[in-house]
């Protein structure tokens, strides 16, 4: 199988094209191939598959073998891959996802190469039970949560996958490794959750660090950036468009007042190609 190693702001994947469906042992393969010491290394596997509803279908398998419903960095990688490799020749494409349905993608192309990708990430889901959490509120704002003797408060947002956004004084230096895994499996979250720790520095900028469900700490999370912007607007902390500063770089996120959709703009990069035997 041929793969291309790609990343969106350091959130990295092994991207596969040409399969008709997922391999039967894909969870085992993800655990093996994503291992950074005994495998190739990556936050997950991404398969670009045929779709009856869109130009392509995207399936994402996390490094722990579980499947993710959606991934903002992965969809940018997929979009760049299919254009740069000549599998599509238009600047507006559609990608089918497991958790967020068919998403519209706009490619920003320079000299025949995709430089940036703008994705319509759809409407955020704010109903607590649908996110899902165990909390029957819509929206779930500043909800107290306790873990191992530490008190936090969170806002719940789904962008096709579940997120809880927690505001802290210094997100870039927050103890992500301690609190991320504990909050991921908190009883409030029946299907686990992605955890974002955020610090608002201006009305148009938020610094964020993420613990991803099924992958652990990553350098960037596109859906997490979208959830953070939505949460920040709901809590009155930012405007409806802002830069989200991640460890791997910045994403520009907009929450449109007219259609209620969230739009994400950012880069994607191909690193190398290889073959797995």
Q: Does the pLDDT at position 267 exceed 90?
A: yes
Residues 148 and 252 in one domain: yes
Report the distance separating Cα 95 and Cα 27, nearest Å.
22
Residues 169 and 234 in one domain: yes
pLDDT at 17: 98
For residue 80, being part of any structural domain is answered with yes
Residues 112 and 216 in one domain: no
Residues 11 and 96 in one domain: yes
Among residues 214, 184, 209, which one has the least CA distance to residue 196?
Answer: 209
For residue range 189-215, what is the model confidence (pLDDT) as tens digits? 999 999 999 999 999 999 999 999 999
Q: How many domains does the chain have?
A: 2
Among residues 48, 158, 156, 30, which one has the least CA distance to residue 97?
Answer: 48
Mean pLDDT of 241-249: 98
Residues 57 and 148 in one domain: no
Residues 150 and 243 in one domain: yes
Domain region containing 176: 143-260
Residues 247 and 270 in one domain: no
116 is in an annotated binding site: no
Q: Does the pLDDT at position 277 exceed 90?
A: no
Pairing of strands 194-202, 205-212: antiparallel
258 is in an annotated binding site: no
For residue range 36-90, what is the model confidence (pLDDT) as tens digits? 999 999 999 999 999 999 999 999 999 999 999 999 999 999 999 999 999 999 9
For residue range 139-162, what is the model confidence (pLDDT) as tens digits? 999 999 999 999 999 999 999 999
213 is in an annotated binding site: yes
Q: Which residues are catalytic?
A: 71, 221
Residue 61 φ then ψ, to 5°: -115, 120
For residue 132, being part of any structural domain is answered with no
For residue 105, being part of any structural domain is answered with yes
Residues 147 and 247 in one domain: yes
CATH number of the domain residue 65 falls in: 3.10.310.10
């Amino acid at each position: 199988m041929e793969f291309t190693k790609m990343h969106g702001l350091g959130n990295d994947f092994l991207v596969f094209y040409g399969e008709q469906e997922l391999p039967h042992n894909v969870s085992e393969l993800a655990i093996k191939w994503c291992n950074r010491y005994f495998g190739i290394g990556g936050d997950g596997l991404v398969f670009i598959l045929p779709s009856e509803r869109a130009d392509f279908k995207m399936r994402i398998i996390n490094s722990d073998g579980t499947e993710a419903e959606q991934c903002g960095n992965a969809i940018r990688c997929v979009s760049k891959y299919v254009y740069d490799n000549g599998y599509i020749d238009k600047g507006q494409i559609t990608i089918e996802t497991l958790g967020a349905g068919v998403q519209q993608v706009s490619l920003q192309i320079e000299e025949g190469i995709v430089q940036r990708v703008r994705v319509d990430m759809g409407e955020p889901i704010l109903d607590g039970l649908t996110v899902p959490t165990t909390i029957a509120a819509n929206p779930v704002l500043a909800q107290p949560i306790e873990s191992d003797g530490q008190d936090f408060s969170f806002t719940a947002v789904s962008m096709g996958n579940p997120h809880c956004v927690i505001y802290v004084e210094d997100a870039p230096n927050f103890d992500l490794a301690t609190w991320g895994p504990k909050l991921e499996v908190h009883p409030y979250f029946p299907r686990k959750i992605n955890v974002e720790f955020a610090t608002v520095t201006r009305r148009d900028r938020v610094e964020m660090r993420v613990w991803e469900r099924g992958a652990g700490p990553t350098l960037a999370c596109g859906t997490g950036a979208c959830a953070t912007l939505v949460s920040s607007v709901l809590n009155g902390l930012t405007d409806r468009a802002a830069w989200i500063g991640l460890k791997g770089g910045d994403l520009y996120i907009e929450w449109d007042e007219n259609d209620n959709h969230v739009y994400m703009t950012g880069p994607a990069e191909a690193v190398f190609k290889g073959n797995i035997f």
